[in-house]
Structure 1
Amino acid sequence: MYLAKKPDKADPNEARLSRFTCCALSGAPLAAPAVVDRLGNLFNKEALVEALIHKRLPKALSHIRGLKDMIPIHLHPKPNAADQEVRFQCPVTGFEFNGKSQFLALRGCGHVLSVKALKEVKSSSCLVCHKEFDEADKMPINGTEEEVEVLRQRMEEERGKLKEKKDKKLANGLSGSKHAVAAVADAEKLENGKKGEAAPAKRFKAADHAPAHANKKVYASIFTSSNKSDFRETYSCRSLPLGRN
């Protein structure tokens, strides 16, 4: 009578059904527009965008960093499914989107098809819109642990390639900017050098500074010997050349 009561176990069928009919974040019924992340989880786009804006994503969904990690999907509605719990199905086989059958989302076009449909109709194009796709474009929805691990590795590889591409582009941009900066610096140095060069000294001319009413030639002769002559001046007086007295 004193034994602790065992917690009720969740019904695996209910858990599986909830994963395919409800948003993995809000728990609300899945409705358009719907998206799937890179690991195959289903979301209502509005709920996921709001959580990203307000930074309220749980740790389990930390791999979702932005809109690029959301892949829009197109779910095919069931006829007269308004009052039914399962409201979507495969557009080819008619299998219900309830988790009992495996489904794939094509990353290129976003259409959701059952695995059985893609196996029976072997084609490299979507069976709904006929858009070409590769094997890597097939994304399991709510896949097994092994499938999720493969998707996680693919996601990390894609992010690594994208980061490497960005780093390379940034390095090329910096290299170009360094050359541009160096060219501008050289031009500035050249300009500053020209500005810093001493201007040629202007030769002093006494005639340019003569008084207003003075004879410029006479005024200049006070400071320099402006008139050339064949007479040689004496040591004692320049005004009495030899031969004049």
Structure 2
Amino acid sequence: MGCDGGTIPRRDELVRTKQKPEQKDKDAEAVAKWKHCAITQEELRMPIVSCELGRLYNKEAVIEHLLSKDSSCEAAKHIRSMKDIVELKPTENPGYKRRNADKGDEYVDLRASRFICPVVGLEMNGKYRFCYLRQCGCVLSERALKEVKSEVCHKCATPFEEDDIVVLNGSDDDIAVLSARMELRRAKAKAEKKSKKRATEGVEDGKKKVKTENGSGEKNPSVVNGGASTSCATKSEVGAATKMILPEKARQGYSIAKDPNTSEAFKSLFTSHPKAINQPKAHWVTHNPLFY
């Protein structure tokens, strides 16, 4: 069939079939997600932080991203401030040995992880599902949370709710659920902030209204000497009486004690009042230590 000395072509050489899509290397994908920062792709180092979608970052990289205001990074586009991230508190793996450069003549375990679950001892390498708690930042395996039911953290005893559990490097379905929770949480916080601002503005308006009413109100006349009603010498009355004294009257020998329009309380403030004249000791203005 080959016409060249007995060579026979195979079927795959004659029939072209649809090529299968290239499959990802699971080990390489796990290493990229669990051991490298989602922004800079550098190796994770303490302090490690995570967002509300469960991605892992170096804290330094997040700070640089926020300062540069770079919106091109899809992995951190939803991070608006440092309040949107939580600093993680992973448990160190005592059996982990940091490897140097690969020599190529030995087996390298890419699944070896630096951190483990503090409850069941599973390695945090992508093979098992891990979560962190938003209240305290402790990292636990999903198996530990399911097998040991509790309303407090297994590591630090901090109380938490079901919505505080965030899956680290979850699937597309997990990210969709976490994204919906994030939007709901942000909308709730925004509504609470608006209501608090309105309440504060209402209190301030009320205080201003009370001050205005107190400033414009006049004092009622008081009753003295067993029923004789006389008007008190308020600031407004004193000011009015003072304004009534014109320079012409002062030059003509005007006396407040003889003014019928001035109240008795206001007259008693001056030395021309009978009480001041009949006082047995000197007035406070003329008093001195040598007076007896």
SS at match of 1:104: strand
Give the counterpart of 2:96 among 70, 80, 100.
80
**Partners of 2:96 and 2:113 within 8 A in 1:** no
Alignment counterpart, residue 31 of structure 2, candidates 9, 13, 17: 17
The aligned counterpart of 1:141 is 168
Task: In structure 1, list runs of 5 or more residues that go unmatched.
Answer: 1-6, 210-245
Per the TM alignment, residue 8 of structure 1 is displaced from its structure 2 partner at its CA by: 7.3
Mapped pair 1:108 → 2:123: no
| Cα deviation code 1:185-231 (max 9, x no counterpart) | 56677899x989xx5485977x929xxxxxxxxxxxxxxxxxxxxxx
Match of 2:193 among 146, 166, 174: 166
Q: How far does residue 53 in structure 1 lie from its aligned partner after superposition?
A: 2.0
How far the C-alpha of 1:184 sits from its partner, in A, is 4.8
Query: How far apart are the structure 1 equivalents of 2:203 and 2:152?
Result: 43
1:31 aligns with 2:45: yes
Q: Does 1:119 align with 2:146?
A: yes
Alpha carbons 1:34, 1:73 under 8 Å: kept: yes
Assess, with a 3 A threshold, how the Cα gap between structure 1 residues 108 and 167 changes in structure 2: closer, same or farther: same
Deviation at 1:81, TM superposition (A): 2.6
* Equivalent residue letter for 2:252: D
Q: Give the percent of matched residue pairs that are identical in Structure 1 and Structure 2.
A: 33
- Which residue in the other structure is 1:208 paired with? 252
Q: Partners in 2 of 1:59 and 1:104 — Cα distance?
A: 22
Quickly say closer, same or farther: Cα 1:18–1:85, change in 2 above 3 A: farther
Larger radius of gyration: 1
Q: For residues 171 and 50 of structure 1, do their structure 2 counterparts lie closer, same or farther at Cα, with a shift above 3 Å needed? A: same
What is aligned with 1:92?
A: 119
What does 1:215-226 correspond to in 2, within 5 Å?
none
Structure 1 range deviating more: 166-175 or 90-99:
90-99
Change (3 A) 1:82 1:183: same
Quickly say closer, same or farther: Cα 1:120–1:186, change in 2 above 3 A: closer
Structure 2's unaligned 5+ residue stretches are: 1-20, 100-110, 218-234, 254-292
Greater RCO (Cα-Cα under 8 Å, separation 6 or more): 1
Please give the per-residue CA displacement for 1:11-41, whole angstroms capped at 9, x wherever unaligned: 3431232111111111111121111101111
- d(CA) in 1 for partners of 2:50 and 2:121? 21
Normalising by structure 1, report the TM-score.
0.69
Please report the TM-score for the alignment, with normalisation by the length of structure 2. 0.59
- Structure 1 pair 42–203 and aligned structure 2 pair: CA distance change class (3 A): closer
In structure 1, C-alpha distance between the alignment counterparts of 2:97 and 2:49, rounded to whole Å: 20
How far 1:151 sits from its partner (Å)?
Answer: 1.2
State the 1:138 CA deviation: 1.4
Name the CA distance, whole Å, in 1 between partners of 2:247 and 2:34.
Answer: 97
Counterpart secondary structure, 1:98 = coil
State the distance in 2 between where 1:82 and 1:60 align.
27
2: CA distance, partners of 1:15 / 1:121: 30
Q: Which residue of 2 aligns with 1:243?
A: none
Instruction: Check conservation: 1:21, 1:85, Cα contact below 8 A.
Output: no
